[in-house]
A = this chain, B = another copy of it.
Amino acid sequence: MRIYIAMNSYVFEVLADPSRRKIVETLRAGECAVNDVVARVAIQQSGVSRHLRILMEAGFVQMRPQGTQRLYSLRAEPFRELDTWVALYRSLWETRLDRFGAALERSQQVNRPAQPSSPTRPARPRKKQAA
């Protein structure tokens, strides 16, 4: 039986924007008010709010009002979808073991010198800002 996880597909579109990724990264530390996020991103508050709305609609975040503030935090679903998606391609670099073995092996990857994958790493954009 095949399990088709219809991948929101939208997940990638959402994550495609650098500002949005930055926001998500920020939220990884935990619940944040909008202004807290604004302090960490290089765009205006209006922009952050817009991005948060997009993230919300896509299920990446949830919101909890607290007084005047709105505390945003990450939700698991889209990330899990992403994980499920990428799992389809693990065979590209994993040894062919059964599922259990694969999971185990993955646990050993955690030990490998993981690169600082968080901070926006300017790879080279295809066209956008050439810099």
Contacts and interface: CB of A to CB of B under 8 A. Distances in A.
Interface in A57-100: 57-59, 61-63, 74-90, 92-93, 99-100
State the oligomeric state as a number of copies.
2
A39 interface: no
B131 A9 contact: yes
A125 B97 CA distance: 37
A118 interface: yes
13 contacts: A6-B121, A7-B118, A9-B121, A10-B125, A10-B126, A10-B130, A12-B16, A16-B16, A54-B126, A75-B118, A79-B86, A83-B83, A103-B103
Given A7-B121, A86-B86, 9 more contacts: A9-B123, A13-B125, A13-B128, A54-B126, A74-B89, A74-B92, A102-B107, A103-B106, A103-B107
